[in-house]
Amino acid sequence: MQKIAVLISGRGSNMLSLAARCREERWPARIVAVISNRPGAAGLEAATGLGLPAESIDHKAFAERADFDAALAERLEALEVDWIVLAGFMRVLGEAFVARFEGRIVNIHPSLLPSFPGLHTHRRALEAGVRLHGATVHLVTSSLDLGPIVAQAAVPVLDGDDPDGLAERVLAVEHRLYPMALRWLVEGRIIVEGQRCRLRDPREGEMQWFVASPPA
């Protein structure tokens, strides 16, 4: 049984969707910790409500970013985690941390990478005039938001969209996309070939790319 740690900074909505699907679909894995860099994060209480172990490591308690990274790494190693899953974790992890857990850190980013890495993705997508936006699950490397892409989901950009409305529709597909991609990883069905990921033995109804219709 593989061990998953989910790192959050806020309300943890993706963490909740991951936890629900992990239990419902009986993955060969379990969430052994939900860890926040913000002690007051609402997601910690939500995790506790699901019976998940929840704790915080306050980044403000460390003078240097590297010191926080080291404390987080030590905790994750003590938990003997197989996967580190970033779910709204608003800290950039340093190169030493990423190297320590190479190939085992997963993130979801609210854009169709490599377009719009970094912050304010929905506003930037609207300003650029794109007709498709979405979310990307990728493995984390030392290059911000540029690791191998596991899966993506697209939503249309609608006339009259504002950043908040677009963000809401993207988040809805994140809640479907992230559990699907993470399940592939824990089942050992993702083959990484350089910057490309390939799904081994696709099952009926599975695909690495899907276009989600906007809610009615």
Alpha-carbon gap, residue 31 to 87, rounded angstroms: 13
Give 152's contacts (C-beta < 8 A, 6+ positions apart): 112, 113, 134, 135, 136, 137, 177, 208, 209
Q: How many CA atoms lie within 13 A of 39 on its CB side?
A: 5
Alpha-carbon gap, residue 38 to 8, rounded angstroms: 8
Helices and strands counted in the chain (H then E): 6, 10
Amino acid at 30: R
Q: Which of 59, 109, 122, 138 is catalytic?
A: 109
Element (H, E) at 176: helix 163-186
Q: Is residue 109 flagged as an active site residue?
A: yes
| Catalytic positions, written as ranges | 109
